[in-house]
Amino acid sequence: MKLYIVRSLATYETPSETARGVQEEFGITVTKQQCEAYDPTKKTGQDLSEEFKTEFYRVRKEMNDNLSAIPIANIAYRLKRLQRFIDHEQFKENPVIVPSLLEQAAKEVGGLYTNRKEITGKDGGPVQTVNSEIPVPMEDYLKARREVLDEY
């Protein structure tokens, strides 16, 4: 049962959800505070045994490394669910929900919900860089520097 609690908390289940799971799986009533003591990221879990800490972090790492195994983490799954809502008879002609769902789908496809940023140069072209490995005479460098500083 203790291992169940550790693994449940490692997969981001709340202490309350974990306590309910213990009740359902083992028929034993535990409090959310008792469950929280098995989470080494919480103050109450700092004294957790090394065995349980190791298992907690192993399961947490495995979970974070396999986010694609969670359906909602995949854009195709999210779009499929949105499509079901749009096709559902109850929502088909709803003037509020349908445009909202279409907008969300467009944002999904357009990458609005990602942290990825693409940097481009002028008119979407490549970013212009300066090759700093070309030797420049010190006199030319100082002159160019003075000109730039004088402009500001």
pLDDT level of residue 108 (50, 70, 90 thresholds): confident
Answer yes or no: do 55 and 10 share one domain: yes
Is the CB of residue 15 less than 8 Å from the CB of residue 33?
Answer: yes
Whether the Cβ atoms of residue 85 and residue 101 lie closer than 8 Å to each other = yes
Residue 48 shares a structural domain with residue 8: yes
- 52-72 pLDDT, tens digit per residue, is 999 999 999 999 998 888 888
Domain that holds residue 36: 2-65
| 12 and 35, same domain (yes or no) | yes
- At 114 the pLDDT is 67
Task: For residue 132, name the pLDDT band (cuts at 50, 70, 90).
Answer: low
pLDDT recorded at residue 50:
97
Overall number of domains in the chain: 2
- Within a domain: 35: yes
Same domain assignment for residues 61 and 15 = yes
> Does a structural domain hold residue 59?
yes
What CA–CA distance (Å, rounded) separates 93 from 29? 47
29 lies in the same domain as 80: no
pLDDT tier, 28 (very low <50, low <70, confident <90, very high otherwise): very high
pLDDT: which is higher, 150 or 91: 150
Together in a domain, 11 and 51? yes
Do 85 and 32 reside in the same domain of the chain? no
Q: Tell me: do 52 and 96 sit in the same domain.
A: no
Domain contains 145: no
Q: How far apart are CA 53 and CA 46, in angstroms?
A: 9
- Highest mean pLDDT of the ranges 28-37, 105-114, 125-134, 140-149: 28-37
Give the integer Cα–Cα distance in Å for 124 and 130: 18
Query: Is 128 inside any structural domain?
Result: no
Residue 28 lies in a domain: yes
9 vs 2: CA distance, rounded Å:
11
